[in-house]
């Protein structure tokens, strides 16, 4: 199966970056060589993870990274996006864990030798447990801890990193972890969620200053997840609900980053639900960004509640992925355009996009035509946004391989490479082959621009 893009698409330009993405806790395993984190603790609480699993072994990437890197190279990607496990590189007393640092150092060297750009995320949700015991993201001191972590990592990695993201999806850490309570650490409290969001944004700002000082030539920024919010009906109440949801879930993170202020919705929260914001905080958050990473999977539809708030309506009829998420590629174009119209956006990278599908390994093959279609539709959506003026520098498929899908455990497969967990054998899916062909044809076009 092929992924077809218009021949003249800017996605096929030499400068456009194609890549695949992963995150430390989801693939590494090797829990005995790092400090425990909040996700280890969460997994050990009965009922938190659908299949009762954990990240102790995951894809055993820690021992198989060289083979995995061959796989990445075989895809003809320009870049590989991965995250650093904080508790693998920094000890509880703040000193460097050299063995852990060496692991990423070797990976960076190997990527460099293969000409693959490293996109490094500093925080993809795996806060060390000892920091959680000190209050975690609710304790404002976390900002200093994160700054120090960013400093040590960026000094150790030097200029081998093409791009840093301070945080991956602060919405998930704050909202899913502290308001909905379905992610670690499993708290359900609105004020905590808003406070954690504020501390995450502050930590981002503090780390950005360090990154710009230590790595002035790297592309430094942050990755947010966005889900465009649609009204369930044409009623004024539902339209307003969708606007509020957009403010609460999307703009709550983007507006402080780009404009140094929270959406007006903040003023509508009762005082006891608002975050504590100190003088100078908003300026620290709004550090200039070299790029904004956007993760997109689906849209969300909202209706009004009788309390004047919003509630999402589960999709039923449209094509759904295994996550129950609607396949809605035009939402990606629409959210990119609306952000472009609303803000002075830095260059955007689509840092995650992909789908969980009901994959089966049959006679050594995994045929996933619906995922191929998903990628094609979303790449076309990116193309459409570029055509309408949004500056987009790259696109990363989520994910390189099946992995630990947080509260869903190993039940949901997002990989373009299938992982047979009992044997740890990797099998390229049809979608992996389709992306491989696309990525290769882009490289070939760059080499032979006339063809």
Binding site for ligand IFM (CB under 6 A): 23, 26, 169, 295, 352, 398, 405, 414
Measure Cα distances from 332 to 228, 235, 261, 265, 298 in Å.
8, 24, 24, 24, 8
* In the complex, minimum distance from the CB of residue 299 to ligand IFM, in angstroms, rounded to a whole number: 15
Distance of alpha carbon 104 from alpha carbon 110, whole angstroms: 10
Residue 82 or 398 having the CB closest to ligand IFM:
398
Closest distance to ligand IFM from the beta carbon of 450 (Å):
39
CB of 403 to ligand IFM, least distance (A): 7
CB atoms within 10 A of CB 47: 6
> Rg of the Cα trace of the chain?
21
Q: H/E/C letters for each residue in 85-118?
A: CHHHHECCCCCECHHHHHHHHHHHHHHHHCCCEE
Give the nearer residue to ligand IFM in terms of CB position, either 68 or 405. 405
Ramachandran angles phi, psi of 243, nearest 5°: -65, -40
Closer to ligand IFM by CB, 37 or 210: give it: 37
CB of 335 to ligand IFM, least distance (A): 15
Residue 291, strand partner residues: 221
The CA-based angle 367-359-121, given to 5 degrees, is 105
How many CA atoms does the CB half-sphere of 423 hold within 13 Å? Answer: 6
CB 399 within 8 A of CB 26: yes
Could you tell me the sign of the dihedral formed by the alpha carbons of 325, 330, 334, 335, in that order?
A: positive
Strands 291-295 vs 310-313: parallel, antiparallel or unpaired: unpaired
Nearest residue to ligand IFM, by Cβ distance, number only: 23
Q: What's the closest the beta carbon of residue 214 comes to ligand IFM, in angstroms?
A: 26
376 catalytic per annotation: no
Active-site residue among 28, 169, 179, 326?
A: 169
What residue spans of 24-97 are helical by DSSP H?
24-27, 38-43, 61-74, 86-89
The verdict on whether 279 is a catalytic residue reads no
Nearer CB in complex with ligand IFM: 262/404: 404
Catalytic residue, chosen from 28, 326, 352, 405, is: 352
* 3-state SS, one letter per residue, for 261-305: CCCCHHHHCCHHHCCCCCCCHHHHHCCCCCEEEEECCCCEEEEEC
169 or 359: CB nearest ligand IFM? 169
Beta carbon of residue 172, minimum distance to ligand IFM (angstroms, whole number): 7
Least gap, CB of 224 to ligand IFM (angstroms): 11
- Considering beta carbons, is residue 26 or 192 the nearer one to ligand IFM? 26
Q: Name the residue nearer to ligand IFM (CB basis): 275 or 432.
A: 432
Q: How far is CA 306 from CA 4, 77, 208, 303, 444, in A?
A: 46, 49, 41, 10, 57
Which is nearest to 40 in space by CA: 128, 145, 137, 133?
128
Active site residues: 169, 352
């Amino acid at each position: 199966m092929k992924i077809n893009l218009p021949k003249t698409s800017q996605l096929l330009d030499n400068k456009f970056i194609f890549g695949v993405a992963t995150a430390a806790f989801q693939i590494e395993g090797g829990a005995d060589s790092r400090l425990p984190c909040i996700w280890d603790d969460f997994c050990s609480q009965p009922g938190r993870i659908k299949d009762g699993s954990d990240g102790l072994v995951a894809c055993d990437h820690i021992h198989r990274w060289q083979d995995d890197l061959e796989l990445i190279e075989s895809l003809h990607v320009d870049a590989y996006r991965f995250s650093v496990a904080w508790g693998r590189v920094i000890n509880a007393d703040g000193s460097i864990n050299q063995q852990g640092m060496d692991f990423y150092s070797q990976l960076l060297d190997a990527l460099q030798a293969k000409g693959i750009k490293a996109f490094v995320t500093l925080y993809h949700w795996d806060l060390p447990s000892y920091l959680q015991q000190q209050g975690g993201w609710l304790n404002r001191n976390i900002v200093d801890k994160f700054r120090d972590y960013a400093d040590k990592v960026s000094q150790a990695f030097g200029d081998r990193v093409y791009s840093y993201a301070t945080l991956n999806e602060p919405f998930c850490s704050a909202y899913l972890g502290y308001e909905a309570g379905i992610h670690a650490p499993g708290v359900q409290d609105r004020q905590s969620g808003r406070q954690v969001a504020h501390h995450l944004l502050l930590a981002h700002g503090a780390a950005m200053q360090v990154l710009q000082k230590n790595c002035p030539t790297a592309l430094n920024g942050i990755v947010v997840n966005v889900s465009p919010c649609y009204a369930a009906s044409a009623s004024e109440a539902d339209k307003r609900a969708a606007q509020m949801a957009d403010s609460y879930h999307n703009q709550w993170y983007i507006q402080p980053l780009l404009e140094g202020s929270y959406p007006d919705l903040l003023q509508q929260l009762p005082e006891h639900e608002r975050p504590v914001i100190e003088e100078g905080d908003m300026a620290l958050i709004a550090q200039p960004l070299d790029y904004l990473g956007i993760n997109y999977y689906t849209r969300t539809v909202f209706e009004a509640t009788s309390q004047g708030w919003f509630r999402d309506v589960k999709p039923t009829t449209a094509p759904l992925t295994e996550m129950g998420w609607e396949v809605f590629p035009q939402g990606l174009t629409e959210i990119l355009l609306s952000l472009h119209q609303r803000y002075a956006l830095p260059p955007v990278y689509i840092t995650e996009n992909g789908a969980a599908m009901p994959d089966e390994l049959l006679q050594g093959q995994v045929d996933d035509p619906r995922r191929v279609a998903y990628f094609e539709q979303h790449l076309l959506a990116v193309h459409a946004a570029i055509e309408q003026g949004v500056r987009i520098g790259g696109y990363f498929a989520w994910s390189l391989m099946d992995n630990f899908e947080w509260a869903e455990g190993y039940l949901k497969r997002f990989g373009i490479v299938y992982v047979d967990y009992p044997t740890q054998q990797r099998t390229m899916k049809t979608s992996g082959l389709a992306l491989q062909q696309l990525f290769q044809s882009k490289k070939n076009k760059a080499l032979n621009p006339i063809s």
